[in-house]
Amino acid sequence: MTGSGWLRAAIVAVFLACSLWGLEQDLPYTPEVDEPSFVVPAGRIAATGNLNPHWFGHPGSTVIYPLAGLYHLWQAAAHGGT
């Protein structure tokens, strides 16, 4: 194998190692520390229709309201909800 062949093999090996390491980091799934701050209010908004999340920390409205909309659409499409 020539010098460039070894370099290619090394690049592929590093890429494979990084890919497998990254895959292992997500299994098993554990929620991040800030997820309950966004997911719980979004679920409450989607379930009750009350648009007050009872929390306006940064970046609350840019995450909570889109999540609530997605939860509402999922409920309507997948489970026949209103």
Mean pLDDT for back-to-back runs of 10 residues, the chain (82 residues) = 84 85 61 80 90 79 88 86 66
In this structure, are 13 and 23 located in the same domain? yes
The CA-atom distances, in angstroms, between 52 and each of 2, 59, 75, 76 are 65, 15, 20, 21
Q: Cβ–Cβ contacts within 10 Å for residue 17, how many?
A: 10
pLDDT value of position 75 = 86
pLDDT value of position 68 = 92
In this structure, are 59 and 20 located in the same domain? no
In this structure, are 41 and 19 located in the same domain? no
In this structure, are 24 and 38 located in the same domain? no
* Domains identified in the chain, total number: 2
Domain that holds residue 47: 31-82
In this structure, are 36 and 17 located in the same domain? no
